[in-house]
Amino acid sequence: MMSVSLDGFFEGPERELDWQIVDEELHAHFNEWLARAGAFLDGRVTFELMAGFWPVVDQDPGASAVMAEFAGIWREMPKIVFSRTLQSVSWNATLAREVDPAEIRALKETSGGDLVLGGADVARTFREHDLIDEYRFYVHPVLLGHGHRLFTDSLLADPLPGPVRLELTETTTFGSGVVLLRYEH
C-alpha cells in the first residue's frame, strides 16, 4: 500500500507527506481494509512515524471519528518492525533484524488477513524476495515536482530480472480525486 503523487513521488524531499489528500471518505476506506489485516510489517521510519502519532489519537477530543477508530486499529494490530538499529519496540510490535522469506511465507499462511507493508525500504526487500502479491497504489491528484520517486528510490532501486506482469483487479475513485489502483502479482 503506497500513496503516490500523480508525478510518481511517495514523499517530498524532506520526507513530507502533508500533500496527501486523506479526507473522511478515504480514511474510512483505509480503516475498513486495515481492520481486517493480519499484521502490519513496517520499516523503522514508518513505525516511528506511526508510533509517534497514532497510539493516543483517540484520547484527543478534537480527533475525528475515523482518526479515533484508526488509533485503535493501529494500536491493537500485531506489528513486525524491521530494523537493524532499534533496540526495542512497543505497541504490540515485535522487532526483526532481517526479512526471512520462509518466516514471512509462514506468517502469510497463518495471519488471518493481509500483511500490510509500510515503508519503501522494507517494500524493496520484500520485492527482491518476491514476497509481494498485491500492490495498492493510491494516486493523489497532486504534482510534487520533486521528492522521492516510488519506482527509482524505493521499490525498484535494484533492477528487476525482467518485466513483472501485474493484473489490475480494482479501481476506485474517491470524491477527493484520489484513485486506488489495485494490482495482483
Please give the chain's pLDDT, 185 residues, in tens.
Answer: 899 999 989 989 888 899 999 999 999 999 999 999 999 999 999 999 999 999 999 999 999 999 999 999 999 999 999 999 999 999 999 999 999 999 999 999 998 899 999 888 888 889 888 899 999 999 999 999 999 887 664 555 555 666 788 999 999 999 999 999 999 98
Q: What are phi and psi of 158, to 5 degrees?
A: -100, 140
CA 154 to chain centre: 13
Question: pLDDT at position 54, please?
Answer: 93
Whether 83 and 97 have beta carbons less than 8 Å apart is answered as: yes
70 vs 32: CA distance, rounded Å = 9
Q: What does the DSSP 8-state code read for residue 161?
A: S
Question: pLDDT at position 164, please?
Answer: 80
Question: pLDDT at position 123, please?
Answer: 86
Question: pLDDT at position 158, please?
Answer: 58
Supply angle C-alpha 184, 102, 118, rounded to 5.
50
Question: pLDDT at position 161, please?
Answer: 62
Q: How many CA atoms lie within 13 A of 132 on its CB side?
A: 25
Locus of grid cell 502533508: 18
Question: pLDDT at position 162, please?
Answer: 67
Whether 154 and 17 have beta carbons less than 8 Å apart is answered as: no
Domains held by the chain: number: 1
Question: pLDDT at position 181, please?
Answer: 97
In CATH, what number is assigned to the domain containing residue 30? 3.40.430.10
Q: Which domain holds residue 166?
A: 2-184
Sheet (strand 115-118) strand order = 93-96, 79-82, 39-43, 115-118
Question: pLDDT at position 55, please?
Answer: 92
